[in-house]
Amino acid sequence: MVSFYNMANIPYMEGKGGVPFAATNALGPLAAFAARRHYKRVTDHLFSKLPNTIDLWYNTPYYGRVNALGQLVAPRQNFLTYSMSDSFIALDFVFDAFQDFRTFLERAMTHERTGLSTLLGRVVPQKGYTDPIVKYSAYALSIVYHFNAYIINSSAILTTPDHYIKEFVKFLSTIREDFTFSSYYASSKTAINSTGLAIDLHDWDRSDDTKKNEVFDHPEFYRYVQVAANFGFRVSQHAPTTLIADLKSKPMAIYMAQYGIGSVDTLFASHFETAASLDFQLAVALLYEGYQQYQYQQEFGVDTIHCVEVGTLFRCALSVNITSTQYKLDIEEVPKNKFVEKYLHHNYIAPYIEQIKYLEFTKDGRRPPNYNSFKKMYQIAVNAEVGTFSGGSLFGDASPSTTQMLIQKYYNNAAIYQSKSSKIPHYFQKGARQPTSSKNLLTFKEGLSTLYPTQVGGTANSSY
C-alpha cells in the first residue's frame, strides 16, 4: 500500500535522498526556520486533500481556551472523566467519544482489517487532560518564593499582609514576569491538553518533527484521519497522533447531547469557567502561601531607632551623644480563613489585580488605550461591589463579577486580529493590541467562526 504522500500527490520526496522532516529545538535559528517552513508547507498541502485537521501553532492556538464571547476559559474539573486503567483524563463527552474510537480500531486490528497497529499499537492514550492550575501554581509560587528571599535578604520588615502584598506588587514591576493565571494560561506555556479536549496517542515532544515522518508516511494514515473524523475528532497538524475534539462536528455533537450540551455556547457555559475569576482566586491563595512562608522564616524583625542628642557645645563633636534603641517587630500571624475572608473581597484584592495586569500589559513597552476612562469605570465597579466575595470553583463556585469581567475585557490576553493582506483570521499569541491601519480586531462572531468552524470531516466510510 502506498503512503498518503503519494495518494495526495504531495511533493514530499524531492530528489533521491528525499527531504524528511528534520526540525527540532536543537537546531540553530536559520536551520530551524527552514525546517519548520518545510514542515508547514508540506503538511498544508497534505491536509488540503484531507482537511480534517487543526493548526494549533499558527491559526488557532487558543482553541478550547476561548469561548464565544472572546473570554479565556478553563474546564471545570467536576466535568472530567478519569480512566482507572489508562490513567488519562478528558471532559466527559470527549472521553466517551475516544472510548468508542478506540473500541472500533481495536476490533478492526483484532480481525486484521487494518495495519494501524504498527502506528498506534494498542491505541492506548498516553496523555489527556493536564491541570493548568497545577502547572501555573508551581510557576507562580517560584516568583513568590523569589520575592520572599529578596525581602529576607534586605533590611525591609513586612509586618502585615497589606504591607506584604504592596511590596510584592512593587517587586513584580522590577522582574517583568507574568503573574496572573490568565496571562500564564494564554501563553505558550499552556498546551491544548489543558482544555480537556485533546488526547495524545504517542508521548513524544511535539517540537521534534523527526518523529512525525513515520506517521505521515504510514500507508494507512489517511484511514486513521478518516476514522478519527467519524468519531468527532480532528488531527493536530503539528502533532498528528494527537486527537482534538471537533466541537462543531456532527459525530461529536451526539456525544455532547448525551450530557445536555446542545451547542458550543452551552458547552462553555456549563463545562468551563472564566480565567478572570481564577485570577482573583489563585492570586489570594498564592499570596497567602507566600505570606505564611515569609512569616514562618522571618518570625519577627528588629527595627533600630537612632536618637541624636546635641549638648550646648554643639560645634564640638564630643558634645554629641547618639543612642540606638532596638525594637522587636512581630510579623502578624493570620489564619487562612481570615486571610481569604478579607482579601477575596473585591475592595481588597481587585485594586491589586488591576495593578498586576497593568504591569503585565506594559512590560513589553505597550501602553493601554484609554486607561484613565477604564480606571474610572473599574473603580466604580469595585465600589459597587464592596463586600462582594470573589468566588469561583476554588472558593464557592460563584459567577464572574462585573469587576472581573471588566478587567478581563480590557486586559484581554486572547484578542483576535485579522491582517488586511490575508483572508484568514489569525490568533496572536499574546496581548490585547488595538486595531491599527494594518490589523482589524475581529468581532466575537467572526472570532467564533475562526476558532470553531463548521466540521469538514465525519462523513468518510470508516468500515474495514
Judge if 341 and 282 occupy the same domain: yes
Judge if 280 and 257 occupy the same domain: no
Q: By the 8 A CB rule, do 464 and 256 touch?
A: no
Judge if 304 and 380 occupy the same domain: no
Judge if 195 and 178 occupy the same domain: no
Judge if 141 and 76 occupy the same domain: no
Judge if 406 and 425 occupy the same domain: no
Judge if 143 and 284 occupy the same domain: yes
The predicted structure's pLDDT at residue 452: 60
Nearest to 341 by CA among 266, 380, 270, 288: 288
The predicted structure's pLDDT at residue 20: 78
The predicted structure's pLDDT at residue 1: 42
Q: Is pTM, for the whole model, over 0.75? A: yes
The predicted structure's pLDDT at residue 105: 83
Q: Considering its fold, how many domains does the chain have in total?
A: 4
13 lies in some domain: yes
Judge if 17 and 104 occupy the same domain: yes
461 lies in some domain: no
457 lies in some domain: no
Judge if 179 and 75 occupy the same domain: no
Structural domain including 434 reads: 416-448
Judge if 380 and 243 occupy the same domain: no
Judge if 47 and 195 occupy the same domain: yes
State how far the Cα of 212 lies from the Cα of 35, in Å rounded to an integer: 13
173 lies in some domain: yes
Judge if 286 and 317 occupy the same domain: no
The predicted structure's pLDDT at residue 117: 66
Q: Single out the residue in 318, 333, 348 at which a domain terminates.
A: 333
The predicted structure's pLDDT at residue 357: 92
Tens digit of each residue's pLDDT, the chain (464 residues): 444 444 444 444 332 235 677 777 777 888 878 888 888 888 888 777 777 888 888 778 889 998 888 889 999 999 999 988 777 899 999 999 999 988 888 887 776 777 666 667 677 888 899 999 999 999 999 999 999 999 988 878 888 889 999 999 999 999 988 999 999 998 888 889 999 999 998 877 777 877 787 778 777 788 888 888 999 999 888 888 899 999 989 999 999 999 999 999 999 999 999 888 888 889 999 999 999 898 888 765 444 444 544 454 444 444 454 544 444 457 788 888 888 888 877 668 888 999 999 999 888 777 888 888 888 888 888 888 765 655 544 455 456 678 888 888 888 877 654 444 333 333 333 333 333 333 343 334 444 455 565 554 444 434 44
